[in-house]
Amino acid sequence: MERETPEPAAPATFLRGEEGASPESVRARFERMIRRVQAEVCAELEAVEGGAGGGGGAALFREDAWTRPGGGGGISRVLQGGRVFEKAAVNVSVVYGVMPPEAYREARPEAAAAAGGEKAGPVPFFAAGVSSVIHPVNPFAPTMHFNYRYFETGAPEDAPGAPRQWWFGGGTDLTPSYIIEEDVKHFHSVQKQTCDKFDPKFYPRFKKWCDDCFHIKHRGERRGVGGIFFDDLNDYDQETLLQFVTECADSVLPAYIPIIECSKDIPFTEEHKAWQQLRRGHYVEFNLVYDRGTTFGLKTGGRIESILVSLPLTARWEYDHKPEVGSEEWKLLDICINPREWI
């Protein structure tokens, strides 16, 4: 299993050889986009963190750059122990090489199933993406996750079970501990406005996909109040989908920062904090049991610190905990069990 090599600084590009031959290729343009988004999101979160309470000592992002022997690398940026954000991570990776058959089946379960009895051998691949999870301190400030990625497989024509393919995937979703309706409606309205620029069918399709994707099956509830999610998207031309994914990534800050600014200073009690920690326990369960990105990263020998950076600093489990019917905690749980339309 390949292990990453720490680098003192990130290179101008992680592409090399044929991968970086054309600066206008989809691969090169996607890398530039995700690195720009990473820088902009980190700068905005640091601005929010630095403005909390005034004075010095605000938490800043730590950056780790790394390369991968098989090809490519990434940049992990993590902020911990802040006044506003308990933990925030914004990572980019651009990796390529050959993936083992089991990782291909994880990345493309439908394609692997369509191959029938033919099993893919080692599959050449290219994968690039930006991924972020933001866990605020205040229980009334919601966790947000976003991830946008581009993937290619390029098996030789005579290789069984792994055809040449490309696709985009990703989404943005919100996980509150308490429901503030105007915040959730704002968040969904930004997702819808972005989707509507390309196809009015996108938002309802991707909103349902998000509700279905972030389903904690063993608890019968969703992770949060959703947003949009899509995967294996290649039913439009590459240029259109590259523009769409770029617009989605650029909508993250307008969707989230106004919510944080309004909720980060709401007074809260120890009881509110305990409920937030219980909800974060459910968040951990989903990420470790069901998240495709986590399982794919583990099966391809990815960087463990980057793969598990989505987990909160703290979480809590209590035996047979049930919120009182009609309470604010119960209202959140009811929505997670019965997803609703917000706009």
Per-residue pLDDT tens over the stretch 193-236? 999 999 999 999 999 999 999 999 999 999 999 999 999 999 99
342 in a domain, yes or no?
no
Here the tokens at position 95 are 């990796």
C-beta of residue 232 within 8 angstroms of C-beta of residue 169: yes
Active-site residue identified among 145, 188, 272, 282: 145
pLDDT exceeds cutoff 60 at 119: no
Here the tokens at position 186 are 């704002």
- Convert the pLDDT of each residue in 227-264 to its tens digit: 999 999 999 999 999 999 999 999 999 999 999 999 99
The band of 99, judged by pLDDT with boundaries at 50, 70 and 90, is: confident
Amino acid at 302: G
Give me the CATH number covering residue 23. Answer: 3.40.1500.10
Q: Does residue 215 carry a catalytic annotation?
A: no
Minimal CA–CA distance to 34: which of 147, 125, 134? 147
Check the CA dihedral 183-313-212-150 and report its sign. positive
192 in a domain, yes or no?
yes
> How many distinct structural domains can be found in the chain?
1
Measure the CA–CA gap between 43 and 59, rounded to whole angstroms: 12
The band of 104, judged by pLDDT with boundaries at 50, 70 and 90, is: low
Residue that the structure tokens 């209202």 belong to: 331
114 in a domain, yes or no?
yes
69 in a domain, yes or no?
yes
When pLDDT is averaged across residues 182-197 and rounded to a whole number, the result is: 98
The band of 334, judged by pLDDT with boundaries at 50, 70 and 90, is: very high
81 in a domain, yes or no?
yes
Residue 100: give the domain boundaries. 5-337
Measure the CA–CA gap between 68 and 99, rounded to whole angstroms: 13
Residue that the structure tokens 């054309």 belong to: 22
296 in a domain, yes or no?
yes
pLDDT value of residue 111: 58
343 in a domain, yes or no?
no
214 in a domain, yes or no?
yes
- Convert the pLDDT of each residue in 134-160 to its tens digit: 999 999 999 999 999 999 987 555 555
C-beta of residue 241 within 8 angstroms of C-beta of residue 231: no
Q: Specify the pTM.
A: 0.91
Helices 181-196 and 202-213, axial angle in degrees (round to 10): 130
C-beta of residue 204 within 8 angstroms of C-beta of residue 298: no
Measure the CA–CA gap between 15 and 21, rounded to whole angstroms: 8
